[in-house]
Amino acid sequence: MFGSPQRGVNAYAKVGLETGIAAASPHKLIVMLYDGAIVAILNGITQMKAGNIEEKGKAISKAIQIIDNGLRASLDREVGGEIARNLDALYEYMSGRLLTANLQNDPAMLEEVRGLLADLRDTWKQIGDEPAGSAPVRTPAMAHG
């Protein structure tokens, strides 16, 4: 009659995520994309080690979608210049590694991409934590529209 408790938890989490997205700055949205991709990869590693092929594939596919349709799609290649080109190439590399990791059941490749994403996330977060006007370098590589 009321559904499972897990269903209620999932609904609550979804509302929290949607509220966070609606209230987030463009900078925070990029951090959220990095977080989502990292969580998906960690889930992929867990599922891979457990031998759950279907869930492993779903998790890795989710990470690839976040990288390709979120992070890569947010790059402003005209304004971003070399930074945008380098990030685009790195995101392409990550997607390829994730696909290969999925096909070869290689958790080390997943961990490699997770580490790259974590480094980018930390750097991006530090840029956003700087007080306005004190950031030494502007990064126009990300579109804000």
State in Å, rounded, how far the first CA of the chain is from the last one: 44
**13-61 tens-digit pLDDT:** 454 445 455 556 888 899 999 999 999 999 999 999 999 999 999 999 9
Instruction: Report which secondary-structure segment, H or E, holds 82.
Output: helix 77-104
**72-105 tens-digit pLDDT:** 999 988 888 999 999 999 999 999 999 999 999 9
Which one is predicted more confidently, 123 or 139? 123
| pLDDT at residue 8, rounded to an integer | 44
Whose CA is closest to 64, among 22, 109, 26, 27? 109
Whose CA is closest to 92, among 68, 76, 73? 68
Distance, in Å, from the CA atom of 105 to the CA atom of 9, rounded to the nearest integer, reads: 31
Enter the pTM of the model: 0.75
